[in-house]
Amino acid sequence: MLVHIFVIGLFTALLYRHVIYPLLLSPLSRIPAPHWSCHICPLWIYDRRRRAREVRSVHAAHQALGPVVRLAPNEISVASIKGGISRVYAGGWEKDGWYEFFANFGVPPMFATAGAKPHSTRKRMISNIYSKSTIQSAPSLRAATAVILHDRLLPLLASLTSSGSDDDNGGKTSVATSIYPLISGLTMDFVTSHIFGLASGTNFTQDAEARGRFLHWYKCRHGYSFWPQEFPGFTSWVKRWLGLRLAPEFVDQANRDIESMTWDMCEKAAAVLAQSPEEEDLASSRPEAYPAVYSQLSAALEKDLAKKADSTTPCDMSERRVQIASEVLDHLAAGFDTSGITLVYLVHELSQRPELQKALRSELLSLSTPITAASAPEIPSAKELDSLPLLQAVLQETLRLHSAIPGMQPRTSPAGASLGPPGHEYAGLPAKVRVASQAWTLHRNEEVFPDAEQWKPERWLDEKGGLLTAESESGGEQYREMMRWFWAFGSGGRMCIGSHLATYQMKFIIAAIYSNYETNILSDEGIQQCDAYTAPPVSDEPLMVTFRRAK
């Protein structure tokens, strides 16, 4: 009899906790869901994540149900500015364990740090080295840029063209070129030059073998993140006790290889600094060799660790080295990959529009120092390049339509929080509800971006071809509204710290290519974006193009 009572009581408790409460009594029960099961279990969203269908499925749910959608008993997606982005990402809504997946060397970088205070501490160490003013004026980055463009990229493109075939107009068309690996190598060279210095970083633009090896390590891991990210404890348990791997061994090996490569670059950067006791002398005499990010992060962490150490506990320099390596690996991975994805789609869009290429080339050649072989080794100032309206428009529109990270950016709710825009507000949320927004949906709001699925750079320009600004007499309000919904780099205190470096490198790469060459598509099979948190093309070689010297 007692056993029966116990079983009935247990069943009743489980029924209440997992069905009755979430379905009928929870503050989240009033939020519409794309499937009835979302109110009582997370299988609907887990299934879409596991099969790489999350981004478009969540977008479809918002289109059908409105700006606030319940994806699971304890998970919400929000697609609004008021009551959404402005609330969730302004502070007080912390990151949770989902981000622990992004740890390197077993140590979380700033991006994966959960609490606001440790994140803020780390951000203060490096934010100024990634600020717009620093990026546009740093002698080290400018010197490295000149080498990457004039000594690496332009000679490579000239070689591809000279070994190509004669065309009907008396010029030469390059051999078929897979643009994605080439662009990824370029962005990696830019990012590592800023972090480690040019000599200590990569030369993937010229070294195709090293580039291919790294890209294999990096890309072979795609598609295996679901279990370790959503269920890290379970993944570790089945591996330890049952001998089952939910991600293949080659994924772990690729991670080790990438960490080893990063560690080697850290060691090289440290050696460069050790050989130059006065950093100011190095920065002035050999600016391209100066490891700007590594140097600042190293000094800041050493100072921070020294503060924590007391007279009987020496400062652990090995801990500092691991923290640096974890941080810079996060920077280089995010920095090269997202910019590479964006540029592939930008080249794809421009290659379909010869007249737009001509207009862009005309604008680029109006620079006081165009990026051509004749101008070597000089390059224009970053500030002058940043002022070009059409260049800004084509990049901005590509970032909108083809966001490299279109997926969910989860946070956890504080107790009693409210969510949703006027007319769709839901108050009294419990603590630790997973809440997220995604750029894919924000960037496809037809009320803000008419013909949102179309690539239209002109939406960022005024009637005279100038760049829209918040102060524009005609279109100023339109621009302000678009920028409120523009989320390629996130928002709030945790927005992408490398956004200015990303913009810098992408603009210089675009300028170097289209000041000198026309691009034409030979094949774009597999150019569609993956449905994932980070969304590269579905193919590793999605875009084959030819280069032709522009007249």
> Which residues are documented as binding site for heme?
496
Q: How many CB atoms lie within 10 A of CB 434?
A: 19
- C-alpha dihedral sign at 295, 296, 301, 307: positive
**Two tokens, residue 354:** 């010869």
Residues in binding site? 496
Which long-range contacts (C-beta less than 8 Å, at least 24 apart) are formed by 213-220? 214/188, 214/258, 214/261, 215/181, 215/184, 215/540, 216/254, 217/254, 217/257, 217/258, 218/254, 218/258, 218/333, 218/337, 219/536, 219/540, 220/250, 220/251, 220/254
CB atoms within 10 A of CB 505: 28
Q: Are 246 and 239 in contact (CB under 8 A)?
A: yes
SS (HEC) of 12-66: HHHHHHHHHHHHHHCHHHHCCCCCHHHHCCCHHHHHHHHCCCHHHHHHHHHHHHC
User: Rounded to whole angstroms, how far apart are CA atoms 539 and 531?
Assistant: 13
For residue 360, which amino acid is it? L
Alpha carbons 443 and 446: distance in angstroms, whole number: 9
Are 134 and 128 spatial neighbours (Cβ–Cβ below 8 Å)?
yes
Cα 43 from Cα 17, distance rounded (Å): 17
Dist CA 194 CA 202 (whole Å): 11
Sign of the dihedral through C-alpha 326, 327, 333, 336: negative
> CB within 8 A of 544, min separation 6: which ones?
176, 177, 178, 179, 521, 522, 523, 524
Q: Are strands 75-78 and 434-436 parallel, antiparallel or unpaired?
A: parallel
DSSP per residue over 138-151, as a string? Answer: -HHHHHHHHIIIII
φ and ψ of 519, to 5 deg:
-115, 145
HSE (side-chain half, CA atoms, 13 Å) at 15: 6
CA 435, CA 410: separation in Å to the nearest integer? Answer: 5
Q: How many residues does the chain have?
A: 551
